[in-house]
Chains A and B, each alone.
Chain A
Amino acid sequence: DIQMTQSPSPLSASVGDRVTITCRASQSITRYLNWYQEKPGKAPKLLIYAASSLQSGIPSRFSGSGSGTEFTLTISSLQPEDFATYSCQQSYSTPYTFGQGTRLEIK
């Protein structure tokens, strides 16, 4: 199985900050990488698919990059509603494993 490792966790930041979360795969997954936002009591929300494609309806302050084994999710200017947990997921081969999640906290 492909292991997905995220860093850092947790991550403390302030409103207006630019933050980057990294996700590393244990083997190449080309660009089969997706990012989700999780909030308690809510269904996870797809933010980015295929490493860098912004899901419809997601604000442009969210962006993704990377290929192979290293990927990043960047939030250009944190808004209060962005404090949540972010998880990466590979869809290169089953089982489609998730990272352990990065909790983004208010500093």
Chain B
Amino acid sequence: EVQLVESGGGLVQPGGSLRLSCAASGFIFSSYWMTWVRQGPGKGLEWVANIKQDGSEKYYVDSVEGRFTIFRDNAKNSLYLQMNSLRAEDTAVYYCARGITGFDYWGQGTLVTVSS
């Protein structure tokens, strides 16, 4: 059974940092692009970043470029999102999802709240 389990969310002050993790199981992790998607309170889904199977390609939405870094450890079947210089508008539930087009499996999400 495919499972994606996010962790690492929490309350952080503006300007702070947080690292999200996504533990994958039930499939060959190293064979898939992986993606982070977020949903702010009362808002729609927003694609944040994705990463190629071997980590050689990464893409970001403009609003996080230079502040967030997506990376993966295929030996640990894990995806990460390092978030620096956090802003109030980064407050959201963050999901990891499998795939590059049509995300067929999603985690349950982890809540990030940026507030003083």
Contacts and interface: CB of A to CB of B under 8 A. Distances in A.
Closest 10 CB pairs of A and B: A49-B102, A91-B101, A43-B106, A95-B61, A96-B47, A98-B45, A94-B59, A34-B102, A101-B44, A100-B44
A21 B108 CA distance: 26
B contact residues, range: 20 to 34
Most chain B CB within 10 A, of A46, A96, A98, is at A96
Interface of B: 35, 37, 44-47, 50, 59-62, 95, 100-104, 106-109
Given A94-B59, A95-B61, A44 B45 contact: yes
A102 B112 CA distance: 25
B108 A43 contact: yes
A99 B63 CA distance: 17
A48 to B, nearest CB: 8
Given A94-B50, A94-B59, A95-B59, A89 B104 contact: no
Interface string A27-47: 000001010101000111110
